[in-house]
Structure 1
Amino acid sequence: MTSAPVLPQFLLLAGTAVVTCAPALWSYGGITGTALIAAVVVQAVVFATVVFIMYLSWAYGAMMSRNSLNVDTYTGKQPSFKDRVGVAFTHWMAAGLGAASSRHTPSDPVPLEAMPSSFVDKLKVNHDSTSAAAISLRGGAAGGGGTPRLAIRSSRGGTIFVGTIRMGFGHHRIAYAASSWGLDAGMGTYFHDLLNIKSREAGIIKKADGLYSYCSRLASELGGVAEKMWGAMTLSGDENSLRNSWQMAEELKPLMMELDKDVPVITSHSLVGMTAVACGFKHVINLVIDNWAQWFVVVPGAINLVQGPSNYEALLRMGVPPDQVRLAGHWVPKGVHETIDQDCRSRIARASSGVSARRLLVPVGGAGAQRKFVSGFVRNLVEPLKDGRVRLLLNAGDHASMQKSLKKCLEELGIGFKVISDFDEMKALIARLHLSIEEGEDDDSGAFMKRVLAAEEGLPPVIMFAFDDYFPAVAATDLLVPVADILCCKPSELAFYPLPKLMIRRVGDHEAHSATRAAEIGDGTPEVRTLESAAHYVEMLCSKERPDLFVSMNQQIIKNLSIGIYDGCKVAVELAAELAKL
């Protein structure tokens, strides 16, 4: 990449200002020595700042002129002087001063290759061909042993790319959900995570992700003013957020330029979708996150699929073209979706028996926030854990500090627990617990409950899942959903999953609207902001005498399933297959 020598020119202007201003200041009587130097410096700084601001305003126009899409035209709103300066400055901070130059040229396309996934059968994962990951998978050297290198092959109607960015767990979870439907349909499915590709561009993304995760953790731990400020920022996705995102997408084009532009791309991160459109992909399907309409979650030029009607209507009101937004349904993995009905009936039967502990699944998010709230939540479960009303399935993910904190908490409380760190051991436990009502057994059959109690025999009150690797940490929650009774989580991407949910305190105000969606369709609670309120809901949902709320949620999930509410990823893959034939 080359860039114009803007910074040296900027400093030269400042120096020129000093030389220019000095004689005038010298003519002022009584100004000598230190006072003169200080005055010269102040005037030079003011002059240089004005010049720099004017440069940023000019740079905005220069950036837009070389883009593949005019965001101002798309949003229907022209930027003010302040907007132009702000967008150019933000891009300069993210991508470097040269990127804001009219003479900026992008990097060369990054050579890519595919490798078989180490975790998901038949899924292929794209890497840059010179990365440590790719070389390691090949066995340590080009042409060596190990996992064979695969060409990225495409066939009309039979291949999809699933694009994402490993920022927290949410975007990856949605991408794996879409991939599962592609694989089930027999399509060649390539998982394209921009952070898998060693490059300058991936480094830019990592810096942004690190800052986002840090702010999420800080806001969650400090609360108060810090949480309110962070919450306000997560709601402020105006036209400038789309301008900044699109400008970044232009920088990221080398990460996708080598891929076949005729193959449909399903993206779980809008930045990947924008990059695909900027690269010239013909068919881009963007899976819109959350339930709060903001400009930066929209991909201009793509088909934007949304999970709920309120978000669909809000995007239309914002001005998104009607042919670029559709209502699809929730993003749910194939493995979870195919057993929704039987899992709900099993939950109702276990609850109605009054003898089985309610299984609470508590996952920790990818940013590692909520340590304080989750620890307090666990402490409030001491009594129901000890008297057998509750069994806790605690996914501590791949956060070493979170794992250590939760272990210490459980030890202090004197609650029996087991730690599972082996992925295969976890899957064996799930197979043991995943029981459904067999033909000939009534929902409240004693035979069914005998099998349930036999499967649960010997299990401690708490089972904690703690991993070193990223994928098991993400996948564990999805795999545990069918055997869990209640998902206790912040209203993130998991707020749209088909099981009863206790929506605990959010990290970012945009998440509040996802909890509202769960409450409105009857498969989850409203957001619970305090530990006291959370404890009250646990009492209601885990009552052995009156499991009415818990049963009602499961019944509503079965109804929701019948009208396609959980079919979002299925719709996306079917749409991709249809577009590929055009």
Structure 2
Amino acid sequence: MNDKSKRIFGNEISKADYKKALRTKQKYTRKYGDDSSSDYSAKLLPNSTLNEPLGVYDIRVNEGKSNEPFDLEKGLIVGNIRMGFGHYRISIAMASAAHALGYTPYWMDLNSFSDTTCTKVIGAQNDLYSLGSRISQKSKAFNKAVWEPMNYEGFRQLSYNSSDQKNAELMAAVFKNIPKELPIIGTHVWPAQAAIHAGMQYVVNAIPDNWPMALHLAEGSVHTVQTHQAYMGYRILNGMRKKDVLKPMPADSLVYTGHYIDHELVANIKYDCEKRMARKAQNKPMRFLLTIGGAGAQRELFSAVIKHLMPYVRRRKAVIYVNVGDYRQVWDELLKETKYLDVASKTHFGNWNDTKDFAQKAIDGDVYGIHAFWHENIFEAVYCTNLLMRSADVLLTKPSELAFYPIPKLFLKRIGGHEKWGAIHSAEMGDGTLECTDIPHTLQMIDMFLGEKELLAQMCEAIQVNDSVGLYNGAYKAVELAMEMKNKG
């Protein structure tokens, strides 16, 4: 196999950058070992949360063998890592689309295997990213000098991809006993890179963001993107070596699909938008869904939003859903910061059946008050937002992976410069606000949603227009692409 750290889509990497990539791999090898000769087993187990609704099976590596065989005809791997909630959410969308199309989704989280070099390397980098994310929210100086430039320009450079490709060589061993003819969709670049290094034959690399970065390149895979801007930026590798004009990506390496959205949400877009407009017309409480993901970074902002909305909740003008994911401490801190929140809220903690029941009944029923959700299980923590989305009127979120979902959105301040392009795209598509970069502008937008009908109506109309042209069909298209690659051989 060609050394993917020396040349990226025909663009030579400098000797200095290549040596840096080698040193990075050597550093991780010294720290975590090199298990490339290991014969890791692969075991299939039903996913405790997603098997029942979506038919998902987990691939467990280095945990012995199982009697459950891989379905070589209908099976499809969704390769991911837990880094925040975003890549898991995109993976769930892919699994949902695969299930709806009649395929069997296999969940392969490279950050979940015990005693493998792969998981140790990913875990170390994930910890660093989470730490940087938290610090960036507390220190404006760090955010301006380090975090924003790294997320915006540092990850954009081909030299960064060169180092990542070297690190991915240490991740390939976990694919040892995975059938190479199974198609795989990577919802983070590392599973896609690792799959290529391991000899997997049909790899789709589902790129998550709307800001083209070399970080997301996995040469040898077919890359999918959610926006036309991302397509153009990736085709010419725009800005990925400063001002240099680079050799472009081959046309067959890049495909525009549209947004990666769950089948359950896409199939109910018209119905859910009509319910939102009916609630507004009947002056029923407007439902705001606050989702705190990843490192639990924007707690102070959410506290300000809850305080602002509480008088409206008491007057039955608003309802608040708060999903703190698997970060119970975030809810405890919100209770300390927000007077009377404990007595004003109903908690749905750790009881998945209760959460599912509430979410289902809320679609057609009336809801009042403040409802808080916490689940220790990571799949429940992430999927909870998806379930609540159908009955919510407005989603309050930073402009990351949720920027692409078919629900009216109020965008909070970003974490990382690359995220701002998610808000820009959504505002242009008409299903979300501009990014509110501070608390006063966030509260202003909340008051506009509450005080007028036009904003919600425009977004619901835009969502239905976007749906009519297939904007939200990206997950289906990514799955179909992966299976077509396999069928063509």
Q: Tell me if both proteins adopt one fold, taking TM over 0.5 as the criterion.
A: yes
Is the contact between residue 32 and residue 117 of structure 2 (CA under 8 Å) also seen in structure 1? no
SS in 2 for 1:259: coil
Q: What does 1:115-514 correspond to in 2, within 5 Å?
A: 115-120=45-50, 121=52, 122-130=55-63, 149-156=66-73, 158-198=74-114, 199-235=116-152, 236=154, 237-318=156-237, 319-354=248-283, 356-412=284-340, 416-421=344-349, 422-435=351-364, 452=365, 455-456=366-367, 459=368, 461-514=369-422
User: d(CA) in 1 for partners of 2:434 and 2:250?
Assistant: 32
Counterpart of 1:310, as a letter, is Q
SS in 2 for 1:512: helix
Is the contact between residue 109 and residue 256 of structure 1 (CA under 8 Å) also seen in structure 2? no
Pairwise CA RMSD of aligned residues?
A: 1.9
Is the contact between residue 165 and residue 195 of structure 1 (CA under 8 Å) also seen in structure 2? yes
Cα shift at 1:469: 1.9
Counterpart of 2:473, as a letter, is D
Q: Provide closer, same or farther for how the CA distance between residues 416 and 234 of structure 1 changes in structure 2, counting only shifts above 3 A.
A: same
User: d(CA) in 2 for partners of 1:242 and 1:504?
Assistant: 29
Give 5+ residue unaligned stretches, structure 2.
238-247
Is the contact between residue 78 and residue 185 of structure 2 (CA under 8 Å) also seen in structure 1? yes
Is the contact between residue 296 and residue 324 of structure 2 (CA under 8 Å) also seen in structure 1? no
Counterpart of 1:241, as a letter, is Y
Q: Provide closer, same or farther for how the CA distance between residues 68 and 254 of structure 1 changes in structure 2, counting only shifts above 3 A.
A: farther
Cα shift at 1:495: 0.5
TM-score (norm 1): 0.78
Counterpart of 1:480, as a letter, is L
Q: Partner residue of 1:32?
A: none
Give 5+ residue unaligned stretches, structure 1.
1-66, 135-148, 436-451
Q: Partner residue of 2:11?
A: 77
Cα shift at 1:379: 2.3
Is the contact between residue 202 and residue 482 of structure 2 (CA under 8 Å) also seen in structure 1? yes
Q: Provide closer, same or farther for how the CA distance between residues 240 and 403 of structure 1 changes in structure 2, counting only shifts above 3 A.
A: same
Q: Partner residue of 2:244?
A: none
SS in 2 for 1:581: helix
User: d(CA) in 2 for partners of 1:223 and 1:150?
Assistant: 53
Q: Partner residue of 2:481?
A: 575
Q: Provide closer, same or farther for how the CA distance between residues 77 and 539 of structure 1 changes in structure 2, counting only shifts above 3 A.
A: same
SS in 1 for 2:258: coil
User: d(CA) in 1 for partners of 2:123 and 2:31?
Assistant: 18
Cα shift at 1:390: 1.5
Is the contact between residue 79 and residue 185 of structure 2 (CA under 8 Å) also seen in structure 1? yes
User: d(CA) in 2 for partners of 1:502 and 1:514?
Assistant: 12
Q: Per residue, is there more helix in 1 or in 2?
A: 1
Cα shift at 1:210: 0.9
SS in 1 for 2:432: coil
Q: Provide closer, same or farther for how the CA distance between residues 473 and 414 of structure 1 changes in structure 2, counting only shifts above 3 A.
A: closer
Q: Partner residue of 2:43?
A: 113
User: d(CA) in 2 for partners of 1:361 and 1:227?
Assistant: 29
Identity between Structure 1 and Structure 2 (%) = 27
Is the contact between residue 404 and residue 422 of structure 2 (CA under 8 Å) also seen in structure 1? yes
Query: In structure 1, which of residues 552, 556, 559 is the aligned counterpart of residue 458 of structure 2?
Result: 552
| Number of residue pairs aligned between Structure 1 and Structure 2 | 471
Cα shift at 1:227: 4.6
Is the contact between residue 242 and residue 296 of structure 1 (CA under 8 Å) also seen in structure 2? yes
User: d(CA) in 2 for partners of 1:214 and 1:412?
Assistant: 31
SS in 1 for 2:6: helix
Max Rg structure? 1
Work out which structure has the larger RCO, using CA pairs closer than 8 Å and 6 or more positions apart in sequence: 2
SS in 2 for 1:361: strand
TM-score (norm 2): 0.92
Cα shift at 1:412: 4.6
User: d(CA) in 2 for partners of 1:580 and 1:514?
Assistant: 31
User: d(CA) in 2 for partners of 1:548 and 1:212?
Assistant: 39
**Moved >4 Å (runs of 4+):** 412-415
Cα shift at 1:346: 0.9
User: d(CA) in 2 for partners of 1:400 and 1:223?
Assistant: 26
Q: Which moved more, 1:193-202 or 1:391-400?
A: 193-202
User: d(CA) in 1 for partners of 2:222 and 2:136?
Assistant: 34
User: d(CA) in 1 for partners of 2:296 and 2:328?
Assistant: 10
User: d(CA) in 2 for partners of 1:91 and 1:380?
Assistant: 49
Q: Which moved more, 1:193-202 or 1:405-414?
A: 405-414
Query: In structure 2, which of residues 27, 35, 48 is the aligned counterpart of residue 93 of structure 1?
Result: 27
User: d(CA) in 1 for partners of 2:103 and 2:341?
Assistant: 49
Q: Provide closer, same or farther for how the CA distance between residues 489 and 506 of structure 1 changes in structure 2, counting only shifts above 3 A.
A: same
Cα shift at 1:314: 0.4
1:265-296: per-residue Cα shift (whole Å, max 9, x none)?
A: 11101110011111111211111011010111
Counterpart of 2:101, as a letter, is A
Cα shift at 1:321: 1.7
SS in 2 for 1:542: helix
User: d(CA) in 2 for partners of 1:84 and 1:390?
Assistant: 56
User: d(CA) in 2 for partners of 1:574 and 1:238?
Assistant: 31
User: d(CA) in 1 for partners of 2:48 and 2:429?
Assistant: 37
User: d(CA) in 1 for partners of 2:374 and 2:291?
Assistant: 11
Is the contact between residue 9 and residue 219 of structure 2 (CA under 8 Å) also seen in structure 1? no
Counterpart of 1:214, as a letter, is L
User: d(CA) in 1 for partners of 2:96 and 2:310?
Assistant: 37
Counterpart of 1:341, as a letter, is K
Cα shift at 1:415: 6.2
